[in-house]
Amino acid sequence: MPHPKRTLTLVGIMIGVGFLALIFFRQSPPVNTAKTTMTAPPAKALTAPVSATLPQTAPPSILPFPPSELLLHAKAGSFAAKAVTDAVAAFTAKTPEALAELTRLAASSDASERLLALYLRLEIEGPTSAILTAAASDPSPWVSSQAAEWLYFHSRFDLWKAYVQDIGGAWTPAQTAQVIANFAATPTGSPELPAGLVILQLGRALPDLVGALLNATPEVRATLEIALLDINTSPTARTALLDIFNETRPAGYLSTLEKLISARGEDSPARFNAFVNYASTADASAGMSWLESIAVATTPADPLAFRFDVAKRLLAEKAASPVAQTRADTRDQITIAVTAATSLRALSEADLRTLNRYVEQFRDLAPERADAPALKRIATLLEAEPHRDYSARRLTARVRSLAAQASI
């Protein structure tokens, strides 16, 4: 899950949102020029809930349903974004033809069709128990993760937490293997979807679901740690897992990094990155001591022996840097700035940097009640911006979640 830093420019909203998304950015999935069939076992659990919640006033359509044809078959560049909006509206109108087509999509053996059905059902009916149960049991991780993302992006945090716990409680080795296979195919775990679904910003949620499971379910965390440390796991999948661990920083993350770094002789992208992650996460003094103790046993034959020096240098720079502002000072400074600002674009470059530091600290610290006003104001400013790309929506949901935690 790469999180490249964005530089500030003078271009409207992208100044604020781009800067805030430094650690939250996720690359977009590839756009398929035509429909890609993703085969999977039929999701039988989807069929009954649809018939139970949507009135069946017409038999399944024999002729193709034009909105489905556009969303699932149209080539990239052959239609405008408004055509996608109109296609979704055709489903939300709940005509007999639309309901029959939705039933067909939900029972399909094609994961992309079930993904679309889930999205439409959530938009039409909201997160009913039947819909969430069906999504959680779907054989495709793209479908089950999409439900979690919908709940999170719509600030249904209690339902989101329960949904993640339900998935974690029923987790199986087969699901671990499927997740690893997805990350082996692409670092984001995103499927190659039809262009219409890409415009709807579907199919990007798997890394965030995995991150939530790392925090919510110790058993899943242990299973994925084993996959991360296993040299036989795909290098692409190991790097993706390390990125998720680093962003989420679940309990035991520092120990996981130490295990990875201690694998002397291993030359892999994941181990290469682990040294820098360790330096950014560990206490400067304790981290330096541990690296010194490990480096003693390191031989020149270790292809990554030089990375010990890199990590020690970063830790030394951390120890020598001026004492950072206290949490309260940062909170007070940014509260004053965002309260006075009418938009993110009104913030100075210095205020935006402070804002980024303020949000970033919550990777390691839980929000306090005193953080709630600032976090709510930041979320309000984010939601008011005209450009709402995926990274901006994700960041807004993250800040809203932090504000909800702070308000408890």
Determine the Cα–Cα distance for residues 334 and 374; give it in Å rounded to an integer: 7
Residues 288 and 335 in one domain: no
Residue with tokens 């702070």: 406
How buried is 115 (Cβ within 10 angstroms: 0-12 exposed, 13-18 middle, 19+ buried)? Answer: buried
**In-domain check, residue 5:** no
In three-state secondary structure terms, 88 is helix
How buried is 249 (Cβ within 10 angstroms: 0-12 exposed, 13-18 middle, 19+ buried)? Answer: middle
Query: pLDDT at position 300, please?
Result: 72
Determine the Cα–Cα distance for residues 213 and 248; give it in Å rounded to an integer: 10
**In-domain check, residue 1:** no
Residues of the chain with pLDDT under 50: 1-62
**In-domain check, residue 3:** no
Determine the Cα–Cα distance for residues 195 and 33; give it in Å rounded to an integer: 7
Query: pLDDT at position 202, please?
Result: 95
**In-domain check, residue 296:** yes
Residues 114 and 42 in one domain: yes
Strand partners, 31: 193
Determine the Cα–Cα distance for residues 290 and 55; give it in Å rounded to an integer: 63
Strand partners, 110: 39
Number of neighbours of residue 234 by Cβ within 10 angstroms: 16
Determine the Cα–Cα distance for residues 182 and 248; give it in Å rounded to an integer: 19
**Torsions phi, psi for 52 (to 5 deg):** -80, -25
How buried is 36 (Cβ within 10 angstroms: 0-12 exposed, 13-18 middle, 19+ buried)? Answer: middle
Helices 390-407 & 157-169 angle (0-180, nearest 10): 100
Query: pLDDT at position 358, please?
Result: 92
Residues 21 and 48 in one domain: no
**In-domain check, residue 101:** yes
Determine the Cα–Cα distance for residues 198 and 194; give it in Å rounded to an integer: 7
Residues 180 and 313 in one domain: no
Domain boundary among 225, 249, 273: 249
Residues 231 and 133 in one domain: yes
Domain boundary among 232, 249, 266: 249
Residues 6+ apart with CB under 8 A from 394: 21, 24, 26, 153, 208
Residues 58 and 170 in one domain: yes
Domain boundary among 249, 279, 295: 249
Query: pLDDT at position 355, please?
Result: 92
Residues 120 and 243 in one domain: yes
Residues 171 and 45 in one domain: yes
Q: Give residue 306's domain range.
A: 252-321
Query: pLDDT at position 323, please?
Result: 61
First to last CA, the chain: 30
Residues 193 and 210 in one domain: yes
Is residue 345 within 8 Å of 16, Cβ to Cβ? yes
Number of domains in the chain: 3
Determine the Cα–Cα distance for residues 209 and 244; give it in Å rounded to an integer: 10
Determine the Cα–Cα distance for residues 53 and 48; give it in Å rounded to an integer: 9
Residues 6+ apart with CB under 8 A from 186: 29, 30, 236
Query: pLDDT at position 329, please?
Result: 85
**In-domain check, residue 4:** no
Query: pLDDT at position 102, please?
Result: 96
Residues 99 and 184 in one domain: yes
Residues 245 and 256 in one domain: no
Query: pLDDT at position 301, please?
Result: 82
**In-domain check, residue 8:** no
Residues 176 and 111 in one domain: yes
Number of neighbours of residue 286 by Cβ within 10 angstroms: 11
**In-domain check, residue 206:** yes
